[in-house]
Amino acid sequence: MEASSEPPLDAKSDLVDFQWKLGMAVSSDTCRSLKYPYVAVMLKVADHSGQVKTKCFEMTIPQFQNFYRQFKEIAAVIETV
Amino acid sequence: MAAGELEGGKPLSGLLNALAQDTFHGYPGITEELLRSQLYPESIASADMDFNQLEAFLTAQTKKQGGITSDQAAVISKFWKSHKTKIRESLMNQSRWNSGLRGLSWRVDGKSQSRHSAQIHTPVAIIELELGKYGQESEFLCLEFDEVKVNQILKTLSEVEESISTLISQPN
């Protein structure tokens, strides 16, 4: 089951650490009443040379739920391979 | 034009101004741009204007002399309903200064050998995350996970979900 544009082997990194926090955006200069929760993730990834980089990103709750759902699918598939 | 003089908050009068123009002069349409230019410069109290509040306000206006008709109220109400989410999303995106998750794609390989080690028949998941900051190009992050790691992440994600459930169930 291969993708049509497969990245070269050494472009893949290993996940070294996964940190998260659940935050609530309350207010900002563009909108005084934001009130939305978000999931902030900090990944530590090591490339093939061993160099560790930090990658941060945020997800809205629906985005997180989709993310979680996809990981469950991955887990289900990897179990059967 | 009565719409411009309505009380009840600058954002609403801005919105109604724009809508009144559309209704009375047949302007091509209220684009999000126009709406934004009307609402954003004002000190916006809330982009999450309570829909019930809006309905109540509009109903009151239909009863006033020189106010809006109930047809117009219905148009405004419908318009706000359909645009509110987009406006809110736009505001959320603008206030997020970290990268957002734009996409995720994955595949599972039944790996028999790798460049770095002689693993035999170890399945791996290859996940590509598309990240990007507001208004900037995407950055792609390609990660490799074995089954153990996938399950570790899954456990972490279930903790996140629990956290979310706790947050949502708390009255604020």
**pLDDT tens digits in sequence order for chain B, 172 residues long:** 344 333 334 555 566 566 555 554 544 444 545 545 544 334 333 444 566 666 777 777 777 766 667 777 777 777 777 777 777 777 788 888 899 999 999 999 986 666 776 656 789 999 999 999 988 999 999 999 999 999 999 999 999 999 999 988 876 5
- Average the pLDDT over A32-54 and give the result: 92
Burial class (CB in 10 A: 0-12, 13-18, 19+), B145: buried
At B156 the pLDDT is 97
Contacts of B99 (CB under 8 A, 6+ apart): A55, A56, A57, A58, B131, B132, B133, B139
Contacts of B8 (CB under 8 A, 6+ apart): B57
Is residue A64 within 8 Å of residue B160, measured between CB atoms? yes
At B142 the pLDDT is 95
> Would you call A75 and B123 a contact, using CB atoms and an 8 Å cutoff?
no
| Chain A with chain B: Cβ pairs closer than 8 A | 143
Looking at the predicted structure, is the pLDDT value of residue A10 above 60?
no
- Average the pLDDT over A46-50 and give the result: 90
At B133 the pLDDT is 93
**Distance between CA B160 and CA B163 in Å, rounded?**
5
> Would you call A59 and B91 a contact, using CB atoms and an 8 Å cutoff?
no
> Would you call B154 and A58 a contact, using CB atoms and an 8 Å cutoff?
no
